[in-house]
Amino acid sequence: MDSKDKERLRIIAKYTSAAFQMAAVIVLGALSGKYLDKTLETSPLLTLILTVTSVGVGLYLFIKDIIKK
């Protein structure tokens, strides 16, 4: 494996890990909202709020992570 291949793998790993982190934040926000809606009987208000908020947080973390690396 030459240095070009190693660099490609490093870049792929960087973007893949950032994408998985973003997906995890969004799913966690949506599931938390769903649980809170069920518990507090506010359906679908908290699911929508937490999902939209977690998309914003996920994008922020994604961009911050990509810029940092």
pLDDT computed for residue 7 by the predictor:
93
- pLDDT tens-digit series, residues 4-18: 999 999 989 989 999
- pLDDT tens-digit series, residues 44-58: 999 999 999 999 999
pLDDT computed for residue 55 by the predictor:
97
pLDDT computed for residue 66 by the predictor:
82
pLDDT, the chain, mean: 93
Q: Determine contact, residues 69/13, Cβ cutoff 8 Å.
A: no
Q: Give the Cβ contact number of residue 61 at 10 Å.
A: 15
| Mean pLDDT, rounded, for 12-25 | 93
Q: Determine contact, residues 65/15, Cβ cutoff 8 Å.
A: no
CA distance 26 to 55: 6
